Structures are given as C-alpha cells and as structure tokens.
Amino acid sequence: MRSAVLALAAVAVAPNAMTQEIAATRPPPTSMNLGFPADTSGVWPLDPGSSQLRVRPTTERPVASTTGAFRTVCGIAALGFDDPIVYPGEPWRSHLHTFVGNTGIDAFSTAESLRASGNSTCRGGIFNRSAYWVSSLLDMRTMRPVLPDAFFIYYKSGAFNSKGSSDGRTVNGVFVPWQPPVKFRDMPRGLRMIAGDPSRSTPRTGADESAHRWACSGADAKYGSSIPDCPVGSTLYQEVFFAQCWDGINLDSPDHKSHMHYGVNVPNAGDPRGWTHRECPASHPVVLPKVIFEISFKVTETTKYWRLVSDSYAPTKPAGYSSHGDWFGAWLEQPWRAGCVSANKDCHGHLLGDGRELY
C-alpha cells in the first residue's frame, strides 16, 4: 500500500486552492478538552479550499485491474477541538483533530449542512464536500500539532470483488468462485463511521489488525501498531482502514461502529486446502466501497517525541495505539462506485469512471 501512495503522490495534482496561512483560534483552557493539551495558537498553513465545482469531460479512461479503486487527495482544512460525530453540538469538547475536505466542519455539522455549504480542499472542489479527520499528531516537546504532508482517501473494492474471486472449483463443468460476486452499493447519504479506537492502549492483533497501522518509508520498513522511530529525511505513514459491511438500515450507531462490520472469514466450500474467503456477515449484508486513509508526515526531526493527542489514554504506552479516523460523507455524486470500484478499474486520483475527471 505504501508504494501505491508514493506512486500516487508522484502524479497527483495538488488541491485546487492555493494553501495559505490561516490564523487558528486559540483554544480555551485545556481542561475543557479531552486528550493531551495541544497548542494551536498562531497561524497554520491550512488550505482555504475551492468553492467551485471542478469536474470536466476527459478522453482518458480508467485502467482495467483485478480490483476496483478510486482515490482522492485533500488539503488540510482545519485544526479543531470539535467532533460532529462523537460530540455533536458540543464545541471544544473533543481532543484536537486534523480535518481535511469540507472547510465548514465544526461541532454542529450535519449531513445536510455538509452537502449544502463549505469549500472543499479535495480534488474536484465542491463535488466532494465530505469531511474526513484523524486525531492530531503532536510533538510532545512543544505540544504543537505536526501537520501531514499529504492526506489521501481511497475508495476500493477491498476484500470483495464484483466478479467473485479468480480462484474456485469446477462443478459439473461450471466454474464456481470460492468468493461469490458481490454487488457494491454507493456510500449511503448521511452515513457516518469511525475506524480504530481512541482509547486503545494495546497493540492490534488478529481481527483488530484491519483498523490501523504505521510505518516508515524504506524497503526494510515494517508495519506495526505503534509509531516507529523513523530516521530524519524519511516519511512516516499512517493508515486507517474502515469497515465496508453495512447493516443496510442505520446511518450511525451509539459507538459509531456497530452499524458497520469488517468482512469475516468463511471456509471455501469444497476446498481441499481448507482455505477461507471474506464475506459480509448476515447482520451487515450490504457491501460498500472500502474507505482507507493514507496519511504521510515528512520527518525533519526525530519521531521519538511524536504522539497522537488521543494517546493520552495510555501516556506510558508506545505512541500511536489510539490511531483512528472519522468519515462523514457528502459527495454530490458517486460515479466512481460504478465506474471504478464495481467495474474493477483503477481510476487513479482523478477519473470518475464515467468520462469525467476531477481537477
């Protein structure tokens, strides 16, 4: 996955609006907020976003692939102590978050307000007014946020395939894939979801491994649950993986996760090897595109003092266990679902799969 991020970064067009310094509001006393205290005073190089609908026809076509993938890049829209999913209507209640996408995001944001207003720091302008955010990364020596160098959002077929798996068995002369074909659905309007656990204090193991991971750049780098000590000059990568099985009913749930589910392992029927494939459980039968955050940080000084704001739940444990992300969708349209994800095509970072592109 890390190599894919590097490849995309090499060809990606920066978000439409030029990045500029925007004064961040001085936070109230830290006792009002959760997490480590964070100093956001002064000016920060935030992206004001675009108010334009930046979509146009193109003769370029997606590339056929074994999986479907669309990805976009977004500039940093805000630093804020708000969380409209976990603490709606309660400004300054949350730990500090780094937001990308809709510049109008705050504690009072709703699905309706996101679709109706706000610039967008994502490619395509207000074609995508979605809001995406993660717990801010801090330099504990200064308690100042470390801003990402790049923030990518992937929408992929994930563990599923619209044609079924390429391997299977032949029954009465008919090929039967181990994993049956699935029908992907658009991301439901108003859906909200969280991946990862802000109170996590232990390494991820087993099924939990699907939620997040960290790594340094370099051929010998390994993924892990905690922030590694990356050498100066390298890049620190944070990845957050969202569940893609939806219950088909609820747009949210009390824990902001239970309406979603990761795929489960199911034995391949008749497979002499005893192997398994992934399916959505009966309780969550609707398959959505898999959302993945790919976030990179340039390492200009040691990462030894870097921790997530939410790591305050386990301040003596390795940094990064509490990695998590929030997704609050507000797409004008989702043609990339049919033209890229369901069609098993790679749409790169700009193609919509319907003869149009974001710019």
CA-CA-CA-CA torsion for 255, 257, 260, 266, nearest 10 degrees? -110
pLDDT at 347 over 90: yes
Q: What is the pLDDT of residue 19?
A: 66
Q: What is the pLDDT of residue 12?
A: 38
Q: What is the pLDDT of residue 8?
A: 36
Q: What is the pLDDT of residue 1?
A: 52
Q: What is the pLDDT of residue 145?
A: 97
Q: What is the pLDDT of residue 279?
A: 94
The share of the chain scoring above pLDDT 90, in percent, equals 79
Spatial distance between the Cα atoms of 96 and 91, rounded to a whole number of angstroms: 11
Mean pLDDT over each residue of the chain, to the nearest integer: 91
Q: What is the pLDDT of residue 25?
A: 61
69: closest CA among 347, 290, 354? 347
Spatial distance between the Cα atoms of 316 and 309, rounded to a whole number of angstroms: 13
Q: What is the pLDDT of residue 249?
A: 98
What is the tens place of the pLDDT at every residue in 251-301? 999 999 999 999 999 999 888 899 999 999 999 999 999 999 999 999 999
The share of the chain scoring above pLDDT 70, in percent, equals 91
pLDDT at 332 over 60: yes
Q: What is the pLDDT of residue 5?
A: 38
Spatial distance between the Cα atoms of 245 and 115, rounded to a whole number of angstroms: 24
Q: What is the pLDDT of residue 225?
A: 94
DSSP 68-132: -EEEEEB-EEEEES--TTTSTT-TT-SPPEEEEEBTT-STT--HHHHHHS--B-BTTBTTB--EE
Spatial distance between the Cα atoms of 342 and 331, rounded to a whole number of angstroms: 17
Number of C-beta neighbours around residue 20 at 10 A:
10
Identity at 200, one-letter amino acid code: R
pTM value > 0.85? yes
Q: With contact defined as beta carbons under 8 Å apart, do 161 and 91 qualify?
A: no
Q: What is the pLDDT of residue 60?
A: 97
Number of C-beta neighbours around residue 91 at 10 A:
16
What is the tens place of the pLDDT at every residue in 218-244? 867 789 999 999 999 999 999 999 999
What is the tens place of the pLDDT at every residue in 2-23? 444 333 333 333 444 456 787 7
What is the tens place of the pLDDT at every residue in 131-150? 999 999 999 999 999 999 99
pLDDT at 206 over 70: no
Q: Where are the domains of the chain?
A: 2-358
What is the tens place of the pLDDT at every residue in 179-190? 999 999 999 999
